[in-house]
Amino acid sequence: MKPIVDITPKRVLVTGGAGFLGSHLCEALVAAGHDVLCVDNYFTGSKENLAALLDHPRFEAMRHDITFPLYVEADEIYNLACPASPIHYQFDPVQTTKTSVVGAINMLGLAKRTHARVLQASTSEVYGDPEITPQPEEYRGNVNPLGPRACYDEGKRCAETLFFDYHRQHKTRVKVVRIFNTYGPRMHPNDGRVVSNFVLQALLGEDLTIYGEGRQTRAFCYVSDLIAGLVRMMESPETLIGPINLGNPHEITVRDLAERILAITGSRSRMVFRPLPADDPMQRCPDIAKARRELGWEPKVALHDGLTRTIEYFEDLLTRRGRSVAARRKLGAA
């Protein structure tokens, strides 16, 4: 007799599930047949991001701040909760640190009680302004613990420490990934990140704001690729803890990105240059050799294709919000 196959769906908790990454992850998990509980305090997340899921029988949304304990049952926990753009995480830096640190403690405690696997969405910001590129996981970083970005950088570094200590001390089943620049539909329009900034400025006929001379480099991963990496990490053997970099290893300058967006949108916006913000890294590019080797993962979506989809999303967003893209383009060109 063949063994009975267990087709029971997993109970998956996604913190920050109404955000840019979280909403895409929730969709992927529901599509895979799991029961998904999305937890979000809606500081940067939006119910609009969850519109396609709200009536699904395997999906549930809960308003909750993870700096307070959460009493639910779960087989897997994806801890994505924390504002990730400088504009948002610097708005209330103390709360940002609490979300990273106290939130991690609460999710680890929940995982310990329920024996769930728990994945920490860490960040490339743990490398600070790196002195080597690309950045491998073994690089310990160059972070300013006193600067305006420290609430996020050091909060995430502390969260990683907690994950490894819970694993060593309590045998908690943990996973840690470090996410590099990710873009795509559902990015917050006012998050201050370079892709959303440039796309909206180009569509509205406004000047594209470049900090410094635009020679700083970034590497951009499309959201569907990133979500696939998160799921593969969660499903990997328990012996694979991380940290593992997830991002696109193809580096371009910020000025090159601006030129590509202008070309795709057909915008006649100009590029203007402003002083660099404090502690803004000059280079940011992942070494993904470990992800390729351990997860069989690497990005598949080309930058041009991903930017085209992202631009289409923002065009639709502007139209839905009653703003004529064509009229604004004409105004910007006048």
pLDDT band with cut points at 50, 70 and 90 for residue 328: very low
What topology is assigned to 11-333 in CATH? Rossmann fold (3.40.50)
Residues 6+ apart with CB under 8 A from 287: 134, 135, 136, 137, 245, 249
Residue 309 confidence (pLDDT) above 80: yes
According to DSSP, the β-strands at 76-79 and 117-123 are: parallel
Report if pTM > 0.95: no
Q: State the chain's mean pLDDT as an integer.
A: 92
17-29: average pLDDT: 97
| pLDDT for the residue numbered 283 | 84
| pLDDT for the residue numbered 152 | 87
Catalytic residue among 89, 152, 183, 222: 152
Nearest Cα to Cα of residue 179 among 102, 93, 82, 106? 82
Residue 323 confidence (pLDDT) above 60: no
Model pLDDT for residues 140-193, shown as the tens digit of each residue: 999 989 989 998 899 999 999 999 999 999 999 999 999 999 999 999 988 888
In the chain, beta strands by DSSP E: 11-15, 35-40, 59-63, 76-79, 117-123, 173-179, 182-183, 208-211, 217-219, 221-222, 244-246, 251-253, 271-274
183 is catalytic: no
Model pLDDT for residues 105-140, shown as the tens digit of each residue: 999 999 999 999 999 999 999 999 889 989 999 999
Residue 66 confidence (pLDDT) above 90: yes
Residue 324 confidence (pLDDT) above 70: no
Other CB atoms within 10 Å distance of the CB of residue 323: 12
Residue 333 confidence (pLDDT) above 50: no
10-29: average pLDDT: 98
Residue 3 confidence (pLDDT) above 60: no
For every residue of 55-84, DSSP letters joined together read T-TTEEEEE--TTS------SEEEE--S--
| pLDDT for the residue numbered 330 | 41
With both helix axes pointing from N to C terminus, report the angle between 254-265 and 194-203 in degrees, rounded to the nearest 10. Answer: 30
